[in-house]
Amino acid sequence: MLSKLLNGLFLFQVKPFLFNNRFDLFTWMIMKTGLHQWLLNNPYGWIVCDVFFYSMPLLYLFAYKTSTRLVSAAAVVMLVVNFIYIQCYTLYPTSSVEGFIAWLLFPFLLMCITLKNFYFILHALRYFFLFFITSAAVWKFVQGGIFNIEQMSGILLFQHKEYLASSPDSWYTSFIYWLVSRPYISYFLYLTATVLELSFITGFFTRKRDYFLVGASIVFLLTDSFLMRIPYWEITPFLITLVFSKYSFPSSATFKERNRLV
């Protein structure tokens, strides 16, 4: 939240003026309401939306401290607010909607008030994360990127073209040009990233390598940040699912005592 505020990524700092359509059936339903149009050039609307969205964890905390019944209700409210806010936010010039997937799915985990449900949803999210990363590797085979030696050089030029053209004297520009002019080295990075992504498939068979997968995710995020200048940190909540996967299914004996989470 602090990082978003400092980088000017709250809605009131983005000051939406225009939007672009995208091919998402759910987004069209939100667009049909006209909410995204209402928010254009509407400073009060931005502040209201930011307050709603960023106060949801506090609402949940309040419910958690107050009453068991309220916890699920607070999580449902959080789910609805997150879905609506993120749909509108990503229609404006901000970032891609896929990066917000943790904001969209974690409220399901927070809805659980029993230990067993929590355990199962946590694991469902873990499998989703494994699928998310593994499928990114599979797409590279399906769409052919992995079979193109020029791939990473092409990506780097496409991704950084404005940076490279505007800052020809920077060390980062020299570094990117160095990689672009050596397609085998840059392709090796692309291939390594794909193999790393593909290694997440092991998570479907065993939980023993989850710590390796946490490490791989962190390496992946750091590299993404440095090499592509894409901050993808909002998916980090999924790492929690890998860290906590070591805990086994709550047994019936202990279950009676620890059944209720709140």
Partner 1 sequence: MPYRKGVAHLSANFLQVVNIIFVTMRRVTSSHFFMYLRQLQKHSPLLTALVIIFICAQLFVILIWGIVITPFYNYGMFSEVIKVKNAYQIFEVELNGKRLRGKDFSPQKWDKILLPLQFYAGIKTSNQLYKSDIKRLLYKMRIPANDANFLLTCNYQQFENWYKDYLQDVTNQKIEAFAVSYRNYQYHSNKLQTSPTAIPLSQICR
For partner 1, the binding residue among 11, 31, 71, 75 (CB under 8 A) is 31
With contacts defined by CB under 8 A, name the span among 53-61, 67-75, 163-171, 214-222 that binds partner 1.
Answer: 163-171
Binding status of residue 49 toward partner 1 by CB under 8 A? no
Q: Tell which one of 207, 212, 240, 244 touches partner 1 (CB under 8 A).
A: 207
| Spatial separation of the C-alpha atoms in residues 120 and 244, rounded to whole Å | 12
Task: Name which position in 2, 44, 184, 206 contacts partner 1 (CB under 8 A).
Answer: 206
Indicate the residue among 127 and 211 with the shorter CB distance to partner 1.
127
Q: Least distance (Å) from partner 1 to the CB of residue 122?
A: 11
Q: Find the shortest distance in angstroms from Cβ 28 to partner 1.
A: 6
Q: Is 236 an interacting residue with respect to partner 1 (CB under 8 A)?
A: no
Q: Which of 50, 79, 118, 60 is nearest to 260 (CA)?
A: 118
Residue 64 or 114: which CB sits closer to partner 1? Answer: 114
Residue 5 in the binding site for partner 1 (CB under 8 A)? no
Considering only CA atoms, which of 129, 130, 85 is closest in space to residue 106? 129
> What is the spatial distance between Cα 205 and Cα 220, in angstroms, rounded to a whole number?
22
Pick one of 43, 75, 85, 157: the residue that binds partner 1 (CB under 8 A): 157
- Interface with partner 1 includes 217 (CB under 8 A)? no
**Smallest distance, partner 1 to C-beta of residue 188, A:** 15
Q: Is 20 helix (H, G, I), strand (E, B) or coil?
A: coil
Identify which of 119, 122, 115 has the alpha carbon closest to the alpha carbon of residue 256: 115
Per the CB < 8 A criterion, the answer to whether 78 and 221 are in contact is no
- Say how many CA atoms lie within 13 Å of 14 toward its Cβ: 23
Applying CB under 8 A, which of residues 62, 175, 188, 204 lies at the interface with partner 1?
Answer: 204
Specify the DSSP element, H or E, that contains 78: helix 68-91
Which residue among 72, 173, 199, 223 contacts partner 1 (CB under 8 A)?
173
DSSP 153-190: HHHHHHHHHHHHHH-TTSHHHHHHHHHHT-HHHHHHHH
Describe the crossing of helices 68-91 and 101-110 by its angle, rounded to 10 degrees.
170
Taking CB under 8 A as the rule, does residue 25 contact partner 1?
Answer: yes
The tokens describing 258, both together, are 């620890």
Q: Find the binding residues for partner 1 in span 81-140 (CB under 8 A).
A: 83, 87, 92-98, 101, 104-105, 116-117, 120-121, 123-124, 127, 131-133, 135-136, 139-140
CB of 131 to partner 1, least distance (A): 7
